[in-house]
Structure 1
Amino acid sequence: MNDFSAVILADGDFPTHQIPLGILHQAQRLICCDGALLTLFKHQPQEIERLRAEGKLFGVGDGDSLPAGLKAQYADIFHAVSEQEDNDLTKATRFAIGLIKASTKENGEKQQPRLAYLGATGKREDHTLGNIALMMRYLRDFAILPEMYTDYGWFTPANGNMVFSTFMRQQMSIFNFSCTKLESTGLRWQSYAYKEWWQGTLNECTGSEVSFRADGDYMVYRTYDAK
């Protein structure tokens, strides 16, 4: 789970589970969305200095959520983006893509970027829903492979036929965005082209993989633990 081109930390609930924390600690590049820089400073002061010293830490946003003193202290790594068309998560994503492209130009790597999103749920529910939905936009429009990790599981946007690694009694939810066909193998209850988001929730994996035959966009959520 840790082979990510960049990790983006939003200013929702700071992760406590070992999986998202492991992703944070092993980040090749950690981009904090505005106020998340302060949150990281509060929760992991040693980590923030290590990542900064290694040139792996960045802050992105309009800066309105940061105290003036902290903004001055981290002026060397904070990149102000004043436009209001996109939220801070998208600003951070665009910045991450720019870093990855610059690195790719230098070393010649051409793999599709994988980005992990942490701290993007919790606090305001409208922000949570918006951030989850943005994963689909990033997959479709930004040519990256995004995944959002919480303290309970992770969201993966998908398009068309896909195979997901699973384990017995792992819990899975499927959210249909644009499929008229959404068939599955490896679930306790067969999936279909759900009309409502709640219809695909609380399913269960029956083995080591789940495969989908689909003709559009959908989102898969998997838990870390079996039920």
Structure 2
Amino acid sequence: MSDFNTKYEAVIIADGLFPQSESVLELIRDAGVVVCCDGATRKALANGFTPDYIVGDLDSLEEKFKVQFADRLYRFPEQDTNDLTKAVRFTRSKGIKNLLIVGATGLREDHTLGNISLLAQYAELFDSVEMVSDYGTFIAINQTIELQSFPGQQVSIFALTPDCLISTKGLKYPVEKRSFSFWWEGTLNESLGDSFTIEVHGSGRLIIYKVTG
């Protein structure tokens, strides 16, 4: 069995839709370190979370917060990466290996799609990394994996490398050495039990989405 942890060494709070469900808020509270993308600082504070680090180009950070948190600001002015990626790289530089990301979805759809796709790159930097919202969890994989689940859990598979062949075990609609050319093709499946397996034939990058029970 290889599923990721519910205890995280660090959480990154991005400037999307801030989670409101108690289960996700509890994950944030339990995380060892809170890293905020600069634009998310106000949201984090409004929800009772004080950042240990604030990372980004700092253009979105209010002046009063620059003064209040001057001892924990980390500015990366380059424009080749977004603030979430800057925060991820900063967090990895601190030796973090087990990461939770929240606030990366919702609001602007282009930001949501971009952040979800970036998860595949982030997965190469950490032992485990999950992107969690009030509605579910995104996990990036590049090899065969068995994931914890429950009967009836809704599961979707998104292939970032459309030539990758995929097989599944433990899902209601089985997949046998099939490639997904379009994102909709692997959506709206359903777990049959306490786990399911995604088998990756060859090399590929996939995003697995599990709806919260």
Asked if TM exceeds 0.5, the reply is: yes
| Structure 2 segments unaligned to the other structure (5+ residues) | none
Determine if contact 2:38/2:83 at 8 Å carries over to the other structure.
yes
Tell me the equivalent position of 2:185. Answer: 199
Distance 1:161 1:67 in 2: 44
- TM-score, normalised to structure 1, is 0.85
Distance 1:36 1:153 in 2: 20
- In structure 2, the residue corresponding to 1:160 is in which secondary structure? coil
Change (3 A) 1:143 1:114: closer
Determine if contact 2:158/2:208 at 8 Å carries over to the other structure.
yes
Displacement after TM superposition at 1:144 (Å)? 4.3
After superposition, where does 1:115-194 map in structure 2 within 5 Å? 115-140=99-124, 142-178=125-161, 180-191=164-175, 192-194=178-180
Q: Is the deviation greater in 142-151 or in 117-126?
A: 142-151
Letter in 1 for 2:208: V
- TM-score, normalised to structure 2, is 0.91
Kindly indicate whether residue 2 of structure 2 is the aligned counterpart of residue 7 of structure 1.
no
Find runs of 4+ consecutive structure 1 residues off by over 3 angstroms.
Answer: none
After superposition, where does 1:29-68 map in structure 2 within 5 Å? 29-44=33-48, 47-48=49-50, 57-68=52-63
Determine if contact 2:8/2:30 at 8 Å carries over to the other structure.
no
Tell me the equivalent position of 2:74. Answer: 79
Distance 1:183 1:12 in 2: 33
Displacement after TM superposition at 1:161 (Å)? 1.1
Distance 2:139 2:188 in 1: 16
Question: What number of residue pairs does the alignment pair up?
Answer: 204
Indicate the RMSD between aligned Cα atoms, in angstroms.
1.4
Displacement after TM superposition at 1:5 (Å)? 2.3
Displacement after TM superposition at 1:145 (Å)? 2.4
Letter in 2 for 1:23: L
Letter in 2 for 1:157: A
Distance 2:22 2:211 in 1: 13
Counterpart selection for 1:212 from 198, 204, 207: 198
| Structure 1 segments unaligned to the other structure (5+ residues) | 102-112
Displacement after TM superposition at 1:4 (Å)? 1.6
Larger proportion of helix:
1
